[in-house]
Each structure stands twice: as structure tokens, then as C-alpha cells.
Amino acid sequence: MALTLHHWRNGSAYEGIADRFADVTNPATGEVTAQLALAAESDVNEIIGAAAAAFPAWRDTSLAARTRILFRFRELLNERKPELAEIITSEHGKVLSDALGEVSRGQEVVEFACGIAHLLKGGFTENASTRVDVHSVRQPFGVVGIIAPFNFPAMVPLWFFPIAIAAGNTVVLKPSEKVPSAALWLAELWKEAGLPDGVFNVLNGDKTAVEGLLTHPDVDSISFVGSTPIAQYVYETAAAHGKRVQALGGAKNHMIVLPDADLDLAADQAINAGFGSAGERCMAISAVVAVGNIADELVAKIKERTLKLRTGDGTRGCDMGPLITAQAQQRVSGYIDAGEKAGASLVVDGRTVKPDAEGEGFFVGPTLFDHVAADMSIYTNEIFGPVLSVVRVDSYDEAVKLINDSPYGNGTAIFTNDGGAARQFSNEIKVGMIGINVPIPVPMAYYSFGGWKHSLFGDSHAHGTEGVHFFTRGKVITSRWLDPSHGGINLGFPQNA
């Protein structure tokens, strides 16, 4: 009998009414490792209720006390991150080193949030009008909902909850039902760090849980990360229910290689960014745009590197792990079929991969297409798998047009040694995160992460100062302490004197 996973409410595991379950699977072996309880509406209400009840006391806990807990959480996470990485690999499939990298990037947001006292400081103006002072503060919202995708079981939730909690909010995190254990592990870590019960809660579930969060009157904000259609639905539904929303969606990221680029560097980085985490990253490169006469040489270099990659179980020191589910494996293979039919040249075929793994894992090997055209489904759709397409263009302008015409605008990169071209590119490209000779330009925690166009609905990006703003509300206080000069009754609009 497989393990049963439940929710986390008020500082301990919470079973709820548990009448629906989903399989949790190890994608490298196909083995079902746990049954996950999917929340019913009453569970959603119970868990949101716990977060709402914990809010007043947490809001009023001093910044010094809140910060001490964050530091303890950071220390515990740092010491024990290999444990979390193993959990991620066992449910997501990404190789262990990649899982560890994800935790470290999430930890950086905890470190940023440890400085929350500085980030929450308001302004003060003395004598704005005669003997009138004005000051501003930023206050926590209340209950914040976080809805996460499967591809970063730890890092994506960590983009949000350290800042939300540090600012004085309470959290309900709904992880992806495919990878629930990282969130439950993090909940236990918070408990160990001394976070009061009810401040961090985990709601496991599917559409019922999401809808509960989007519509419940006690939830004040929603931070969502996932595919574009769901992001748009989440944005519209939560906004219609009066919530502040940031909904990060899907992506299709291009890497432009100019004729003067270092082609070995470009080929290495195309491999890292195209096939890392089996292409299941929102910042993965899926289209390499080769400008001018370098295409043959660049494709040869990428091919040579692709053929050397070892695909298999992420615990065995392989380069690339499996896809998340059997459906994802079929979807990605289907795209490869479609690319071939559409006339793209299949340079390396991942469908025939022989993975280093036991059992029936969900593998597709690294796949390389050349001569991909902008109307082929392998180019237009987010494949979310290890399929790299090379598109050949004659000029820089054509490459820029391709990117600017894309409905997505998450990340992009340019490879060149021409500083002027790189500068022009960063200026005119309609994308939120740009790399110059850097293929996956995920910003540091003190900057903000987010795309443009259909890669983000809402106006706040994740973490950095935008994250602090998202999880707080501004207030401005104008005060005058009575003194002999007050002017009596005056019904006119207040003016400064």
C-alpha cells in the first residue's frame, strides 16, 4: 500500500475528508510512490480558515521576531537541502544536481527576505504643511494564495512565500498534484524554524482547490505560475473576485546567435538551456535562431554535443532525466512526429533513446531539429520537453521580428561579441528577461522575475522589490499634533500652507 499524502494546516498534517486521490509517480521508473489526497471544498475552507485565523497575531509580531524565524529557516534549508533535492528528483525526475540548483536559487529569495526590515521602511516628511508631518508604511495583506506548477516543486513556491511571510502575511500554498512532497517538507521545516502554526499551510488538490482559492473571500492575493491558458483563467477569475493577482504563464524562448558569436560557447549553452531539466523549464531555450552563414557549423556543434548526453534516472549521474508523466512523453513524441511531417530536418531523434533507468520511466531523449519554419507546431507551441529547433534567418532584423511576433515574452538570449548589437537587442526586444551570452537569464532574488505578453498576466513580477510591493499595501498617514495655531472649521479642500 503506497504512502498517503495529505495537507498541512495549523502546524500539522491534516487529513480533511479525503474522498478523492491522485497517484504520485516516480517518472524515472513509472512507479506509483504515493496517493495524494485531493482537497474537497470543505478542506479548502478549513485550510484558508486556519491561515485567516493566524493572520492578526503574525501581522502584529515584531519585525525582529519575524526576521529571526526567517534566518533560522534559511539555516535549516541550507543544511538540509540535499534531502529536499532528493525529494524533487524522486517526484519530478530532474537530475540531482539540477534539483540542488533549484533549491539554491529558492534559498536566495529567503536570504533576500531576511532583509525585509529594510525593504518595508516607509518615507517620512516633516513639516509637509505647517506643523503637518506625512509618513508612509507598507502593511501586509492578509491571506495569500500561491498556486505552483510541477516543474519547480521548491523554487517557484520559494519565489513567493519567504517575502509574503516576512512581510507579515499568512500563506496557503497549493503545489502541483504531481509533486506535492517538497511543499510538505518545507512546511515541516518552517515548524522547526519556529514559525507559528497557521502562518504556512499546504492545500493539496486540483481544480477544486484552485477555484476555492480564487473565489474565497478571505484570500487577499493570488500568485500563480503555470501554463498560459490556466494563468489567464486564474488572473480573470481572481481579479473578478477582488484579489490582487500575478499569474505567470508559459513560454517559448529564443536564443539568437549572431555571425560573430563564439560558436562553441553558443553550442554549449544551447545544450544546457535546451535540454536541462528535459526542457521542462519556463526559461528553457526551445528555438535557436542562427543568423547568416553560421548555421551549418552551429548545427554540427550542437549535434555533436547532443549525441554525447546520457539520459536516465536522475539519481544515477545522468545528464538528463525523464519527462513528468506518460502523457507528457506522448505529447513530446507527438510533436517530434509533427515536426518530421511538416518537413523540418530531424538531426537527433530522442524517441529512440535507451535510458539508463529501471522500469517504465517517461523518457524522451534530447532531440534536435534543423530548418524549422515559423509556421510549424514545433516552433509555435510550447512543447515543454527536450526538443531544440534551429531556425535559419538571413539577418538580425528577421531574428528580432520572430521574437517580437511571438505571443510569449518570458526570456530570450543573444550570443554575440558585438556590444552595440547586444545593447540594441536589449533595448528593442519585447521580452521580460534578457541574457547576453547567458542562456537562462533568471534574475537574482533582489531583481524581479517575470515575462511580458502571454507569459505574465498582472503587473507585478515575482520577488525583488516588486515582490515586496505585491505582498504589501501602502498607507500614507498625515498628522498634525494640536498646537495653538490650528485654524478652526474650514470646509474647503485641504491645501498646504
Q: What cell was used for 123?
A: 518615507
Is the Cβ of residue 210 or residue 393 nearer to ligand NAD in the bound state? 210
Q: Least separation, in Å, of the C-beta of 31 and ligand NAD?
A: 21
Per DSSP, what are the bridge partners of residue 392?
290
Burial 394-426 (b: 16+ CB within 10 A, else e): eebeebbebbeebebbbbbbbbbeeeebbeebe
Is the Cβ of residue 224 or residue 396 nearer to ligand NAD in the bound state? 224
Is the Cβ of residue 149 or residue 355 nearer to ligand NAD in the bound state? 149
CA angle 269, 463, 174 (to 5 degrees): 95
Instruction: Tell which residue, 101, 150, 223, has the closest CA to residue 384.
Output: 150
Instruction: Tell which residue, 431, 402, 436, 435, has the closest CA to residue 419.
Output: 436
Question: DSSP class of residue 287?
Answer: E
Contacts of 428 (CB under 8 A, 6+ apart): 400, 404
Instruction: Tell which residue, 31, 32, 35, 26, has the closest CA to residue 4.
Output: 35
Per DSSP, what are the bridge partners of residue 291?
393
- The number of CA neighbours under 13 Å toward the Cβ of 364 is 31
Q: Least separation, in Å, of the C-beta of 318 and ligand NAD?
A: 22
Q: Least separation, in Å, of the C-beta of 252 and ligand NAD?
A: 9
Of the residues 40, 84, 113, 282, only one is catalytic, namely: 282
Is the Cβ of residue 81 or residue 174 nearer to ligand NAD in the bound state? 174
Binding site for ligand NAD (CB under 6 A): 147-152, 156, 174, 176-177, 206-207, 210, 225-227, 230, 248-251, 282, 382, 384, 410, 451, 455
Q: Is 114 among the residues known to form the active site? A: no
Cα–Cα distance, 57 to 473 (Å, whole number): 18
Per the listing, cell 498625515 goes with 478
The DSSP string of 351-417 is: GG---B-SS-------EEEES--TTSHHHHS---SSEEEEEEESSHHHHHHHHHHSSEESEEEEE-S
Contacts of 73 (CB under 8 A, 6+ apart): 110, 162, 189, 190, 193, 195
**Residue number with the shortest CB distance to ligand NAD?**
226
Is the Cβ of residue 323 or residue 422 nearer to ligand NAD in the bound state? 323
Residue 451's alpha-carbon distances to 225, 252, 363, in angstroms, are: 11, 11, 29
Burial 456-467 (b: 16+ CB within 10 A, else e): bbbebbbbbebb
Contacts of 330 (CB under 8 A, 6+ apart): none
Is the Cβ of residue 170 or residue 204 nearer to ligand NAD in the bound state? 204
Per the listing, cell 537574482 goes with 444
Question: Beta strand 200-202 with 170-174: parallel, antiparallel or unpaired?
Answer: parallel
Contacts of 383 (CB under 8 A, 6+ apart): 279, 286, 331, 332, 335
Is the Cβ of residue 177 or residue 370 nearer to ligand NAD in the bound state? 177
Instruction: Tell which residue, 424, 382, 386, has the closest CA to residue 407.
Output: 382
Contacts of 172 (CB under 8 A, 6+ apart): 47, 48, 51, 143, 144, 145, 146, 201, 202, 203, 213, 219
Q: Least separation, in Å, of the C-beta of 387 and ligand NAD?
A: 14
**Residues catalogued as catalytic:** 282
